[in-house]
Amino acid sequence: MSKGETVYDVAIIGAGPVGLYATYYAGLRDMRAVVLESLPQVGGQLMALYPKKMIYDVAGYPQIRAEDLVKNLEKQAKQYRPDIFTEEKVVDLRVLGDRDFELCTEKGRTVRSRSVVICAGVGAFMPRKLDIRDADKLEERGLHYIIRDPERFRGKRLLIIGGGDSALDWSLTLQDLAASITHIHMLKQFQAHEDSVARLFRSEKIEVLIHHQLKEIHGADQVEAATIFNNVDGSEKTIPVDHILCFIGYITNLGPIKDWGLELVGNAIRVNEKMETNIPGVFAAGDIVWHPAKIKLITTGFADAATAINNAKHYVEPKARVFPGHSSHTVPKKQKEMARDQDA
Ligand SMILES: Cc1cc2nc3c(=O)[nH]c(=O)nc-3n(C[C@H](O)[C@H](O)[C@H](O)COP(=O)(O)OP(=O)(O)OC[C@H]3O[C@@H](n4cnc5c(N)ncnc54)[C@H](O)[C@@H]3O)c2cc1C
């Protein structure tokens, strides 16, 4: 180990709702935590698949929008100042001789920790990509699957593709910035929040074309135009565009996790009642776990996270009790002050 390298008490893989709650819980147990998330944002399926949808079965909330639940979880997790790194897909997990763990990401970041909690849900999400000629060549040269800086679309002509929340959210967000927006969707029915669909059709800035798909992208080094076609009557037209923003879903893949020596049941990791995997010191929580009574819900994922972290604490510090005490009694004054600072 190089001098000055941080050794975390726990490394959490995945910042979905369960990973965020595990991060909070690690702070509560006074564990130094690092979180590695493959997507550009935290929130897992809630932000990637249904940010605007209401959730009705999270304890304490009669109803809450998915994105608001994520905001609350993030705020709760950050009270204890964990290190959270996004766009860092973990590709390797190694046990070091002295029983520490080393995690390596696709981008080459390495992280060392005394325990690991895998909260990787259904695996790493990757945007589904277009299967048409030149699409790979023009990626990030006018063709985008992930939006990092909306400002680059100021005054530009955009073609936006998709019928889900991500596609509609971006059309509605960018309408005041872009010169023009053509929004195409291959079906008549949209899968997005009803209010977003209504606003899309109401917008005077956005031309919405249902039953339309992308056929061809034109441009040598940069997107210059797109040919779209109507999949009902077969008609097609070529429109000049500067950027194509494509949101046609995600593909999920356990990928490298399968090669870490973990005992798997289908696409899930087998855990015992402590949420511990077959590798001592490596725990798992949330949708990724399998045990005979597992139910894949946010609520049960939160319970998994608390169990995993409390047992990870005991693993890292055998003298520490598994039972954390009650937070209303045990949260140190300092943490209460940190929470107050954040509210101010
Ligand atoms: C449309 C829809 C509606 C739903 N509605 C409800 C509901 O009303 N109530 C309910 O309880 N549940 C609902 N669910 C299920 C709920 O979303 C999941 O149970 C929950 O998201 C599981 O959380 P998680 O943190 O375990 O996994 P995820 O949300 O899948 O998060 C896992 C995170 O890990 C990251 N990751 C994976 N592999 C790696 C890696 N190698 N390196 C780094 N990061 C990685 C992923 O990018 C992801 O962000 C719904 C699901 C869908 C699709």
Strands 282-284 vs 116-118: parallel, antiparallel or unpaired: parallel
Strands 124-127 vs 143-144: parallel, antiparallel or unpaired: unpaired
Contact between 34 and 8 under an 8 Å Cβ cutoff? The reply is yes
- Locate the domains of the chain by residue range: 7-126+251-343, 129-248
For residue 298, the cross-strand partners are none
Q: At what angle do helices 298-316 and 17-28 cross, to 10 degrees?
A: 40
Nearest to 36 by CA among 24, 49, 51, 23: 23
**Cα separation of 87 and 36, whole Å?**
8
Cα 253 to averaged position of ligand 1 atoms, centre (Å): 13
Q: Which CATH superfamily is domain 129-248 in?
A: FAD/NAD(P)-binding domain (3.50.50.60)
Cα 188 to averaged position of ligand 1 atoms, centre (Å): 28
**Cα separation of 25 and 27, whole Å?**
5
Backbone angles phi, psi at 46, to 5 degrees: -65, -40
Architecture of domain 7-126+251-343: 3-Layer(bba) Sandwich (3.50)
266 residue type, one letter: G
**Cα separation of 158 and 179, whole Å?**
8
Answering whether pTM is above 0.85, one says no
| Ligand 1 proximity of 156 Cβ (cutoff 6 Å) | no
pLDDT tens digits for the chain (344 residues)?
555 679 999 999 999 999 999 999 999 999 999 999 999 899 999 988 778 778 899 999 999 989 999 999 999 999 999 999 999 999 999 999 878 999 999 999 999 999 999 999 988 778 899 999 999 999 999 999 988 788 999 999 999 999 998 899 899 989 999 999 999 999 999 998 899 999 999 999 999 999 999 999 999 999 999 999 999 999 999 999 999 999 999 887 888 999 999 999 998 999 999 999 999 999 999 999 999 999 999 999 999 999 999 999 999 999 988 888 777 776 665 566 666 655 55
Q: Are 7-126+251-343 and 129-248 in the same CATH fold?
A: yes
Contact between 45 and 73 under an 8 Å Cβ cutoff? The reply is no
Cα 122 to averaged position of ligand 1 atoms, centre (Å): 7
Which atom of ligand 1 lies nearest, measured to the CA of 90? 42
Exposed, middle or buried, 302 (CB in 10 Å: 0-12/13-18/19+)? buried
